[in-house]
Amino acid sequence: MDPSRYVDDNDSYGFYSSLGADGGDLLKIGIECYTRLMAEPKENKDQTTSQSSENYEGWGFDLFPERRGTYKPNLKNILFQGRGNENLERIKCERKVASCLNKSPLVKIMMGALRRSGCDVNPSRHIACELCDTSVHGGYDPIMNQIVICQNTAVSKGTIQGVLTHEFIHMFDNCTRKVDFRNIEHLACTEIRAANLTHCGLVSSILEGHSSIFNFRKKHQDCVKHKALISVLAVRNVTYEQAKAAVEKVFDRCYADLEPIGRRIKGKSVDFELAYAEAFLMGYD
């Protein structure tokens, strides 16, 4: 599907993040901590978006302080926050990322799908381990066309795998679907797809109160809507009503779009393996 069908021009550009909290805390973090990014979308699939470098304040990089080289540890960071070991953290993070790229079925599907679509991923160019605010695990920077893994919060391979898969969905949509990230409905669509394909498994959905073993199918949609709504609120300066309206408007079509994974992952390992086994049908192996 093509999100360009849902065009209502807006003027803000988002930094799309994997948040490190859930429910009300996640909503609070989204509303309080995120600001808008102002830029034009890129034409070339693998070139950074041309935009002014005059002032990066208020672009949402406060949660990603190493973006644009703004982070410099001071004595307080070292003494009271355990900083000063960033290089060691980065090495550990990069090793875990490499392991996920080589072993994770979902990550391998996404890599193959991007390659097949003409957007081959160069890990050293398109994936960066960086220090982040403790409220996030990672994000997708559409200006740089780069995934950020938060080396200080995404410390397990499972978390890194989840962040990579989620952010690869945004990268894939950016590559193949003419997404205008300034458009709230385009944003809602890619967030619906990311939540649908990489979150809201049976166990996590039950633990977060969105589902039960008796009504999983219906409640799965509620979980996806909830995740997408929070993500839109987190990266856009819009009201709850505006975000909800955007999610509801595009939900049916975007929820039905399972490309490139091809199935909803319910949390069982067999789902991962089946998705990977079926990837060749789309030429994504």
Residue spans of alpha helices (H) in 81-134: 86-103, 105-116, 123-126
Locate 10 and state its tokens.
């807006």
Locate 84 and state its tokens.
């000063």
The model's pTM is 0.73
Are 71 and 128 contacting, i.e. CB atoms less than 8 angstroms apart? no
pLDDT tens string 87-115:
888 999 999 999 999 998 889 999 999 99
For the chain, the first-to-last Cα distance in angstroms comes to: 21
Q: How far apart are CA 262 and CA 13, in angstroms?
A: 29
Contacts of 183 (CB under 8 A, 6+ apart): 3, 6, 7, 8, 9, 10
Domain count, the chain: 1
Top pLDDT among 181 and 211 is at 181
Q: Residue 66: pLDDT above 50?
A: yes
Catalytic residue (choose from 66, 167, 185, 191): 167
Backbone angles phi, psi at 181, to 5 degrees: -70, -10
Q: What is residue 72's predicted lDDT score, i.e. its pLDDT? A: 62
Top pLDDT among 27 and 229 is at 229
Go through the chain and tell me how many residues it has.
285
Asked about 32 being catalytic, the answer comes back as no
Domain range for 108: 3-282
